[in-house]
Chains A and B, each alone.
Chain A
Amino acid sequence: MATETEKFVGTPRKVTQHLTQNEGLSFEKSAPGKKAYRLAPLDVPAVDAKSLLGVNAREDAAGLPELSEIEIVRHFTRLSTWNYAIDLGMYPLGSCTMKYNPRVNEFVSRLEGIADAHPYQPESLSQGSLGIIQLLQQCLLEITGMEAITLQPAAGAQGEYTGILLVRAYHQAKGNARKNVIVPDSAHGTNPATAAMCGYDVINFKSNASGGIDVAALAEAVNEDTAALMLTNPSTIGVFENEIHRIADILHAKGALLYMDGANMNALCAKTRPGDFGVDVMHLNLHKTFSTPHGGGGPGSGPVACKKILEPFLPIPVVEEGSDGQLHLNYDRPQSVGRVRAFYGNFGMFVRALAYILANGPDGLRQTTEDAVLNANYIRKKLEDLYELPYNTPSMHEVVFSDRRQTKNGVKTGDIAKRLIDYGFHPYTVSFPLIVPGALMIEPTESESREELDLFVDAMRQIAREVEENPQLVLDAPHSTRVSRLDETGAARKPVLRWKPGNGQ
């Protein structure tokens, strides 16, 4: 046992364990007759559902929980304390850009007149909303260097879908929709899934030795059947494609288009513009680059910006300024791909993104990008002696290590991630991109102070030592959470996707 106690156990410096409250499901606390609402008295004659609706009247009430107001406040407050969040500390999920979500964004999105605007209000009573759309569009066009834009797509993946629909419509208008879309093997899974949804065959394209596009191989792969290349730039390993102009030239020479996945735009804002380096169409993620909240998995918002050649195909409606100086919604666009979503998109996210841009201005956006890249490079420098760098190319906003050295002790990236939780951090992105076996994909964003970065570095270094000297500790992590590692296999084998009376604890 003596040797057991001598094994190295790191000291988390960022966190101290504290108690969290237990809380069952709301259904389990329900009791008939408890209420958390009181309606205003009805000022019109009451009706009998049965006589109005007949056989369409609902017989059995839906089994929603019955609770009082204080119980509901405690319920959700208790649940909230079981979450990690940006507001608690660094959230280095690579490719997700977990940056600070400014509170003024939330405030202005809830202003009366903005939050209660109905999408079918007359245009004359929607000039404020349309003005927000117009100004955000102008800002995003200037930031991307593109020429036309739609804000309609509901999230990044739908932005990709819209972008590839534009590509398809463009080729179709020339008489041939073409057959395939080239997707690098480093791409996010939404890229190939999107291309397939648009009816294209996906050509999975192998990355070169530095994790980027093999330009010579691309030249061979692109032909008259190629509709587009979907390129993430900087790539998912955080590297800028410095031969981007050659890539664009190769595509354009064969009549194909360059689609850019803008997930990593936080590395480029105010420093370089996709429209300038040959991109024909791209999407942005307002919940990444432009600080709208991630909210536990959404809502997102995925504007698509494009060059003039694709403008006729944009989804309807588009916002236009009339000769009367009023803003209008134009539905009369015969070449449009149609709608991808009802109404005009996730408008509430436009408000927040615009508030973020106004808070930054040109100088703030530039400083933001510089700090994001500085932070990633700082982490790289402080950890590269302990964690393997699979690609030595310069990092932009994120750095990708591999677990190669740690696997010698049987510890994988997922285990290191779980141990990081004990040190008070959300894990990095695990096992992505797929081109790096055992990837640790770290994106600190600009929102981290040097102190927070140093705490993260300290945690990662202590974990590296634990892996060497006490690997079982890491394999069993996390040790400090409400629940330990959960049985995911069991969850998938016999799915329990809803609560039923009696299947409780």
Chain B
Amino acid sequence: MRYLPKSDAERAAMLREIGASSIDDLFAIIPEEYRVTRDLDIPRQMGESEIVDHFKAAAAKNANGYASFLGAGVYRHYRPVLIDTVVQRGEFLTSYTPYQAEITQGTLQAIFEFQTMICELTGMDIANASMYDGSTAAPEAAMMAMRVTGRDGVVVARTVHPEYREVMRTYAQHREAETGHAAQEVGYGENGRVDLEALEAAVTEQTACVLVQSPNFFGVIEDIPAIAEIAQKKGALLAVAVAEAISLGAVRPPVEADIVVMEAQSFGVAPSFGGPFCGVMAAKEKYVRQMPGRLVGETKDKQGRRGFVLTLSTREQHIRREKATSNICTNQALVALMATVYMTVYGKEGIRELALQNLAKAEYAAKTLGVGGKLLFTGAPRFNEFVLQTEETPEQMNARLLEHKIIGGLPLRKWYPELGNASLWCATELTTSAQIDQAAEMVALIPAAAAAR
């Protein structure tokens, strides 16, 4: 086996030195009836070229050469080459959690830079070293708000990503059974924004957390100051989820929030069929001791030199065990490093310029595609996604588009049946005007053809 650095002679010599007559001696403690004495029924050992061929064959069975208008929490942005140059350095790729600060200063300083960049982008005071992803950061924010407020109620906007809400429900199950407080969902208005009157009615003195997403699942930017006022005047915390991180280059950050949870996939992380991504949690400084996950802090060594360490670990499971703020241990460090490189490459001006390109592409796409259908939620600003309502079902429309190697918008009926034949479209800096024009032509084609029939 090519990953194992020993000859059989060396193995035999080591066994002799241990005083074992055979390798079986070392496994003698396993009761005989439970020992595997056959070959496992898995594929035989393959050469490297066979492994590459295996996965190339798999890749060929996926979408290749398609123009895609899918977003919905996973965004296709250009990944600068530097990202993989950096993360494939073995010193980053093959080290682990920086518990031994003296020999992990590289990872620690990079995380410190990441935390700083997230604060700069979100307008929050502190950020942790990463969470699993946006969907799991959301319930962590709700639980954090419960610890801060000592309350149990959670109010969630229906415009939050449906899968984030599903994860919230999973995490809330047993708590609901105990407290009788089910997470309450609040609908949206004509403009696709959370219904402020319904929100006002839903938030009570028992509410720990109000969770909204902005830009929301429809791509619409929420009125964060108004939502914050409703939540905070009842003593609840406002948590804002950001699923499209690039938006923060052009959209005003949710500075009124108490907690911001983010999915940083847009920052140089490949879609990769849904993961690994990079969850982020940022908050106001006063909540630091209720924050889940790892935090890196600046300090000094004995000679007074600057260095970085994992800090405030008394919040965490390895110290506090069942009383910890969360059970999270391993996070998404390498993906956070990807995001750090990405933010460094684009920098202050680049993130803004990039966000504006996304805005322009989506504006053009919405106008152009809107000709063949009805654009919903036009009464509020949006970032790089929009909802299109069509006469035919999105499935029929997408089937036609697929023939032209275009993956159309995401059908929304599964989560929002009230929207009928609606689909969610996304355009990023990688979407070309030619792709948009072609898709628009195809979308517009059928109602006319249907009418002619």
- Does the CB pair B68–A296 fall under 8 Å? no
- A484–B309 CA distance with the chains assembled, in angstroms: 12
- Whole-angstrom CA separation of A26 from B285 in the bound complex: 23
What are the residues of chain A within 8 A of B364 when measuring CB–CB?
44-45
26 contacts between A and B (CB under 8 A): A34-B347, A42-B357, A47-B359, A49-B359, A76-B92, A84-B91, A85-B91, A86-B94, A111-B56, A112-B64, A122-B407, A125-B63, A126-B62, A199-B174, A199-B177, A293-B334, A297-B331, A342-B161, A344-B275, A345-B274, A381-B17, A394-B29, A483-B306, A487-B302, A491-B311, A492-B311
CB of A418 within 8 Å of the partner chain: yes
**How far apart sit A285 and B294, CA to CA, in the bound complex (Å)?**
19
Judging by beta carbons under 8 Å apart, are B89 and A77 in contact? Answer: yes
Is B432 engaged at the interface, CB distance under 8 Å to the other chain? yes
> Closest approach, in angstroms, between the C-beta of A477 and any C-beta of chain B?
9
Q: A142 in the interface, Cβ–Cβ < 8 Å?
A: yes
CB of B271 within 8 A of CB of A115, answer: yes
A197 to B139, CA, bound (A): 12
- Report yes or no: B327 in contact with A91, Cβ–Cβ below 8 A: no
Asked if A498 and B52 sit within 8 Å, CB to CB, the answer is: no
- Beta-carbon contact of B322 and A93 below 8 Å: no
A83 touches B104 (CB 8 A): yes
Residues A189 and B3 in contact, CB atoms below 8 Å apart: no
Extra pairs beyond A296-B92, A359-B2 (8, CB < 8 Å): A39-B350, A79-B110, A110-B84, A139-B43, A245-B34, A295-B92, A363-B39, A483-B306
Q: Check A481 against B322 for contact (C-beta < 8 Å).
A: no
B186 at the interface (CB under 8 A from A): no
What is the minimal beta-carbon distance from A504 to any residue of chain B, in angstroms?
8
Min CB distance, A238 to chain B, in Å?
A: 11
Nearest chain B residue, comparing its CB with the CB of A490: B299
Q: Most chain-B CB neighbours within 10 Å: which of A120, A277, A291, A448?
A: A120
A258 contacts B by Cβ under 8 Å: no
Which B residue sits closest to A481, measured CB to CB?
A: B102
Q: Taking the nearest CB of chain A, how far is it from the CB of B253, in angstroms? A: 7
B72 at the interface (CB under 8 A from A): yes
Contact with B along A105-141 (1 / 0, CB 8 A): 0111111111111111110011111011001001100
B45 contact set on A, CB distance < 8 A: 358-364
Q: How many contacts between A and B, using CB within 8 angstroms? A: 689
Residues of B contacting A177 in the complex (Cβ-Cβ under 8 angstroms): 174, 177
In the complex, whether B321 has a CB less than 8 A from a CB of chain A is: yes
A348 at interface (Cβ–Cβ under 8 A)? yes
A161 pairs with B102, CB closer than 8 A:
no
Query: Does B149 interact with chain A (Cβ within 8 Å)?
Result: no
Do A296 and B309 touch across chains, with their CB atoms under 8 A apart? no
Docked Cα-Cα span, A161 to B344, in Å, equals 35
- What chain A residues lie within 8 Å of B135 (beta carbons)? 339, 341-343
A453-485 Cβ-contact flags toward B at 8 Å (1 or 0):
000000000000000000000000010011111
Q: Which 3 A-B pairs have the closest CB atoms?
A: A295-B334, A343-B274, A87-B90
Taking A340-B136, A381-B17 as contacts, is the C-beta distance between A114 and B27 under 8 angstroms? no
CA of A477 to CA of B249, assembled, Å? 45
**Please, which residues of chain B bring their CB within 8 A of the CB of A418?**
100, 102
A377 and B92 contact, Cβ closer than 8 Å, known pairs A43-B432, A157-B327: no
B390 CB–A CB distance under 8 Å: no
* A377-B18 contact given A72-B345, A295-B92, CB 8 Å threshold: yes
Chain A residue at minimum C-beta to C-beta distance from B47: A359
Say yes or no: A189-B43 contact (C-beta < 8 A), given A35-B350, A113-B59, A113-B60: no
Residues of B near A109 (CB, < 8 A) are 272
* CB within 8 Å for A108 and B63 given contacts A62-B121, A158-B132, A189-B317: no
Interface centre among A66, A122, A298 (most CB of B within 10 A): A298
A253 interfacial by beta-carbon distance below 8 Å: no
In the assembled complex, the Cα of A305 lies from the Cα of B297 at a distance in Å of 37
Decide yes or no whether A209 CB sits under 8 A from chain B. no
Contact among A32, A45, A370 with B23 in the assembled complex (CB-CB below 8 Å) = A370
Which of these binds chain A: B151-159, B164-172, B232-240, B445-453? B164-172
Q: Which of A19-74 contact B (CB under 8 A)?
A: 23, 25-27, 30, 32, 34-37, 39-40, 42-47, 49, 52-59, 61-67, 69, 72-73
A83 touches B92 (CB 8 A): yes
User: Hey, which chain A residues are within 8 Å of B89, CB to CB?
Assistant: 76-77, 80
A69, A112, A165, A349 interface centre (most CB from chain B within 10 Å): A112
Within 8 A of B (CB), among A254-302: 270-273, 276-277, 285, 287, 291, 293-301
Looking at B74-82, B196-204, B205-213, B369-377, the stretch in contact with chain A turns out to be B74-82
Chain A window 161-199, contacts with chain B (Cβ cutoff 8 Å), 1 for yes, 0 for no:
100010010000000010000000000111011111111
A228 at the interface (CB under 8 A from B): no
In contact, A131 and B58 (Cβ under 8 angstroms): yes
Report the count of interface residues on B (CB-CB < 8 A). Answer: 199
A298 in contact with B363 given A56-B381, A287-B330, A488-B309 (CB within 8 Å) = no
Chain A residues closer than 8 Å to B100, beta-carbon distance: 84, 417-418, 421, 426-427
Contact A498–B116 (Cβ < 8 Å): yes
Given the known interface contacts A342-B167, A364-B1, A497-B297, the answer about A483 and B381 at a Cβ–Cβ threshold of 8 Å is no
A-contacting residues, B280-333, CB 8 Å: 288, 294-303, 305-309, 311-314, 316-324, 326-333
Contact A52 B381 (CB under 8 A): yes
- Known A84-B103, A342-B134, A368-B4; judge A40-B272 contact (CB<8 A): no
Known: A56-B221, A197-B327, A371-B4. A40 touches B302 (CB 8 A): no
When distances are taken between beta carbons in the complex, the residues of chain B under 8 Å from A485 are 102, 301-302
Query: Does B73 lie within 8 Å of A342, measured CB to CB?
Result: yes
Instruction: Give a binary string over B15-36; 1 marks a CB under 8 Å from any A CB, 0 the rest.
Output: 1011110010011111100111
- Choose one: B42, B62, B170, B344; the contact of A142 (CB below 8 Å): B42
Inter-chain contact B334/A298, CB cutoff 8 Å? yes
With beta carbons under 8 angstroms apart, the residue of B17, B295, B300 that contacts A487 is B300
**A271 with B164: CB separation less than 8 A:** no
The CA of A158 and the CA of B167, in the complex, are separated in Å by 12
Please determine whether A189 and B113 come into contact, CB atoms closer than 8 angstroms. no
Which of chain A's residues has its CB closest to B365's CB?
A44
Residue contact B348 to A374, C-beta cutoff 8 Å:
no
B253: A residues at CB distance < 8 A: 58, 62
A161 and B56 alpha carbons, distance in the complex (Å):
34
- Cα of A315 to Cα of B381 in the assembled complex, Å: 35
Q: Which of B94, B117, B332, B350 lies at the interface centre, i.e. has the most chain A CB atoms within 10 A of its CB?
A: B94
Question: Shortest Cβ distance from A178 into chain B, in angstroms?
Answer: 12
A361: B residues at CB distance < 8 A: 42-46
The answer on a CB contact under 8 Å between A107 and B52 is yes
